[in-house]
């Protein structure tokens, strides 16, 4: 189970890596760094954290397989929700209701926080390989 989630998380992270570096390149080319917080979160949460979880699941076997699925799903939803919510909160290019935008930002961040907490739990339930 964790091997399937490993590649899913790594692919998801790779997409965020491309988006984050593209955004950084665009900011640099335009000499407009107003999206720095979004750029940083895309790379730190979407690329680095999700990639690290994918590598962890490639290396370790977890006793409780359901935890892997729940943690990985909340990781992807949270990373997307937080970064999309930040983008919408800062730019709101679709003129969506401010309450909706704020809620999406908060829900994404909360899912990501839950994912981090679940990952801590997962690390205590790895199978002994000795």
In tens, the pLDDT along 43-57 reads: 999 999 999 999 999
Structure-block tokens of residue 82 = 């937080």
For the chain, give the mean pLDDT.
94
Q: What is the pLDDT of residue 2?
A: 86
Residue 80 has pLDDT above 90, yes or no: yes
Q: What is the pLDDT of residue 1?
A: 79
- Are residues 38 and 99 in contact, defined by beta-carbon separation less than 8 angstroms? no
Residue 130 has pLDDT above 60, yes or no: no
Per 3-state DSSP, what percentage of the chain is helix, strand, and coil (rounded to 5)?
Answer: 80, 0, 15
More confident residue, 19 or 130: 19
Q: What is the pLDDT of residue 92?
A: 84
* Strand, helix or coil for residue 1: coil
Cα–Cα distance for residue pair 94/9, rounded to 1 Å? 29
Please report, for the chain, how many H helices and E strands are present, in that order: 5, 0
* Strand, helix or coil for residue 52: helix
129 pLDDT tier (thresholds 50, 70, 90): low
- Helix or strand run (H / E) with residue 79: helix 65-91
Q: What is the pLDDT of residue 128?
A: 74
* Mean pLDDT, range 7-35, rounded to an integer: 95
> How far, CA to CA in Å, does 15 sit from each of 9, 10, 29, 106, 130?
10, 9, 21, 22, 35
């Amino acid at each position: 189970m964790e091997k399937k989630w490993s590649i899913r998380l790594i692919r998801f992270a790779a997409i965020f890596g491309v988006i984050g570096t593209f955004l950084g390149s665009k900011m640099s080319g335009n000499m407009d760094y107003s999206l720095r917080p979004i750029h940083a979160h895309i790379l730190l949460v979407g690329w680095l954290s999700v990639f690290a979880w994918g590598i962890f699941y490639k290396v370790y076997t977890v006793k409780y397989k359901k935890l892997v699925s729940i943690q990985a799903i909340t990781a992807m939803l949270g990373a997307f929700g937080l970064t999309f919510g930040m983008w919408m909160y800062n730019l709101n290019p679709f003129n969506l209701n401010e309450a909706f935008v704020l809620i999406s930002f908060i829900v994404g961040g909360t899912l990501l926080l839950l994912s981090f907490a679940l990952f801590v739990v997962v690390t205590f339930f790895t199978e002994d390989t000795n």
